[in-house]
Amino acid sequence: MGNEFQHLTVGGVISQAEYEAIGGHIFDSQAEGDILIATAADQLSRLAKGAAGKILTMGAARPQWDDPATHSASHENIGGDEISVAALSGLLADDQHVIDAEAIAAIEAEATVVLSGSLSVTDATASTSKTTGSGKFAGGVGVVGNIWASNIGVLSTIGGSGVSITAMIPASGTGQMALEFIQGTGTGAANNMSYSFEYQPASDVLRLYSRDIDGSATAGAIFSVADGTNDVVFSGNIYALAALDTPDGMGADGEQLTSGGNNVAMDWSAAGSLREFKDIHGLLDPKEALAAMLSAPVRLFNYRERQADGSHAITTGDTLTEYAGVMADEAPWAMHHHGKIVNPVNTLGYTVASIQALEARVRELEAAVA
């Protein structure tokens, strides 16, 4: 054997001084830097010093000298030697705990990092460029629970010229998705209110919805959009606090906002009377005007809520009042808008011309009597 820990050879008899001497025991082949280890249950032996830079690790049965790279590989791959942050006692900033670069490299190499607890970051490193900060992710961030933040900003300067915030559910999903704004905690206190912009797959409706969560249990839709359409349905009154603009402009005093028909933009219109608004073609014969008015029956009627086939009816909106007037097919000269709506300009014009015709007849009769 070799390297045993043994008594120093002093001859046949050991004196008191030799027995008590500091150098009374020695390793076989002892050298400076050697270490005492137990190589068996009843044997102490020498572990020769390691080369410069080597570290002492435990082998299968006894200590041994290892390369630092070999030791660090056991930390990265085996997974049984995780770093305990609590055990470091606040010394993470000390240079002897070289974990920052290695930890960053390990995280970046992983496709997925799972945190069983929480990830807390400080805004002390936030940059005004919004491209760096205490938390930066080059790819997507998946969250199963809630995200709580004082501010969430999305800028088009990050990742291209356009950005979007997308919420997705399976094609067969029936649960609603909502972006909700809550005032208060919803525990029944006064002035607790919730507004949610939500999509309801079950009814194919996108809507803005308000809920009173102060305990009064009142709620209601503000507006909704049917799936696959451009139709917006307002559930309450519409109030304009500023000028109402259209593709035709904002109109002039006295003009009315008029429908242009199905899927046609509304425009402003009125029976303008200034000469510069018109191309003049000639004069209406008073006798023809009088004949047209005398031939038109004046009928008494009520407006229907809808036409007989259930389609929309153009009315004054008052179905209770009994009106006296002409029918479009019996007085086409008094109609416009495809012969469906009374033409106030023609009505006035034919009335004036008819009065002129009657005035001429009166003068003829007066002349005859004289």
Supply the pLDDT for residue 76: 45
- Average pLDDT for residues 273-292, to the nearest whole number? 95
Is the pLDDT reported for residue 129 higher than 50? Answer: no
The reported pLDDT for the residue numbered 121 is 53
Q: What is the reported pLDDT for 189?
A: 66
pLDDT band per the 50, 70, 90 thresholds, residue 326: very high
> Would the CA dihedral through 202, 203, 205, 210 be positive or negative?
negative
Q: Classify residue 213 by burial, with Cβ atoms within 10 Å: 0-12, 13-18, 19+.
A: buried
299, pLDDT greater than 80: yes
**Checking DSSP bridges between strand 55-58 and strand 63-66, what pairing results, if any?**
antiparallel
| Higher per-residue pLDDT: 304 or 183 | 304
Q: How far apart are CA 71 and CA 76, in angstroms?
A: 9
Res 303 pLDDT > 80: yes
Give the pLDDT band of residue 5 (cuts 50, 70, 90): low
Helices (H) and strands (E) in the chain, counts: 5, 17
Assess whether pLDDT exceeds 90 at residue 363. Answer: yes
Q: How confident is the model at residue 56 (pLDDT cuts 50, 70, 90)?
A: confident
- For residue 338, pLDDT over 60 is answered with yes
Instruction: Judge whether residue 259 has pLDDT over 60.
Output: yes
Kindly state the average pLDDT of the residues 336-352.
Answer: 94
Average pLDDT of the chain to the nearest whole number: 75
Dihedral sign computed on CA atoms, order 122, 123, 127, 130:
positive
The answer, yes or no, to whether residue 80 has pLDDT greater than 50, is: no
pLDDT digits (tens, 9 = 90+) for 130-151: 445 555 555 566 666 677 666 6
* 291 or 209, higher pLDDT: 291
Strands (E), 126-236: 177-183, 193-200, 205-212, 219-226, 232-234
Would you say residue 118 has pLDDT above 60? no
- Residue 50: strand, helix, or coil: coil
Q: Which pLDDT score is estimated for 300?
A: 97
Amino acid 124: pLDDT: 47
Given this model, what pLDDT does residue 293 score? Answer: 96
145-190: pLDDT as tens digits: 677 666 666 655 544 556 666 766 666 666 677 777 777 765 656 6
Q: What number is the average pLDDT over the span 1-19?
A: 63
User: Is 60 exceeded by the pLDDT of residue 105?
Assistant: yes
Query: Which residue did the predictor score with more confidence, 154 or 31?
Result: 31
pLDDT over threshold 50, residue 97: no
Q: What pLDDT is attached to residue 130?
A: 46
Instruction: Write the CB contacts of 80 (distance below 8 Å, at least 6 apart in sequence).
Output: none
More confident residue, 161 or 347: 347
pLDDT in tens, 212-227: 766 666 677 777 887 7
Question: Lowest mean pLDDT: which of 25-39, 179-193, 351-365?
Answer: 179-193
Q: Percent of the chain at pLDDT above 90?
A: 25
Question: What's the mean pLDDT in 199-214?
Answer: 76
Identify the top-confidence range among 124-128, 144-148, 284-288, 314-318.
Answer: 284-288
pLDDT at residue 49 tops 70? yes
* Residue extents of the structural domains in the chain: 5-77, 177-234, 276-369
**Cβ count near 3 (within 10 Å):** 17
> What's the rounded Cα separation, in Å, for the pair 50 and 193?
72
